[in-house]
Structure 1
Amino acid sequence: MFSKSVLALALVAAAVPALSAPSGRGPAASPAPVRPAAAPTAPAQPAAPVYSLSVLRDMARAGHPSLAAAQALVEAGSAQVTAAAAYPNPEVEFLAGRTQARVPGVTGGGAQTLNVQQRIDNPWQREARIAAAGYGLEARRAERSGFENDLLARLDQRFFDVLRRIAESRAAREDLQLAEQIRAKVAVRVSTGEAPRYELIKADTELLNAQKSAESAELRVAQSRAALRALVGPALPADFQLEGSLSGTPAVPGFEQLRAEVLARNPELLRNQAEVRRAERQLALERLRRQPDVAVKMAQDRDHELRDTRMGVVVTVPIWDRRQGPVAEAGALLERSRSELAAQELVLIQALEGAYRQYEIARNQVTALETGILREAEAALKVAEAAYRFGERGILDYLDAQRVFRAARNELIAARHELQLAVIDIERLRATHLKESGQ
Structure 2
Amino acid sequence: MQRIGLYYPYIHFRDEEWMKIAALYWPRMARVVPRGFPVADHETAAALHTELDFLVDVDPQEAAEAVAPRFLHVLNDHGTELRERYLADAARGLQTNSSHEPSRVGGSIPVVTVEPTSQTDHLTLPVGRRPLAGLYWDELESGLRSALFDSGLAVATTRSRLADQPFLRWVATDPTLAWVYKCALTEELARRTRYAPTTDQVAAHGATDGWDTDRIAEALLDRQTAVVDSDVARHIGLMALNFVLPANLDDVPVEKIINLRKRYEGEFTAFTNAVSAAASDLEANLAGIEDPQALREHLKVDFESRFRTPLQDLRKAMNGLHLKTATGIMNYKFELGSLTTLLATVAGQGPVTAAGVALGAATMRQATAEARDTQMRNSQVGYLLRIERNLQPASLVQRISRSLARGAGTGV
Check whether TM > 0.5: no
TM-score by length of 2: 0.28
Find the structure with the greater CA-based Rg: 1
Query: What TM-score results when the alignment is normalised by the length of structure 1?
Result: 0.27
> Which has the bigger relative contact order, CA under 8 A and spacing at least 6?
1
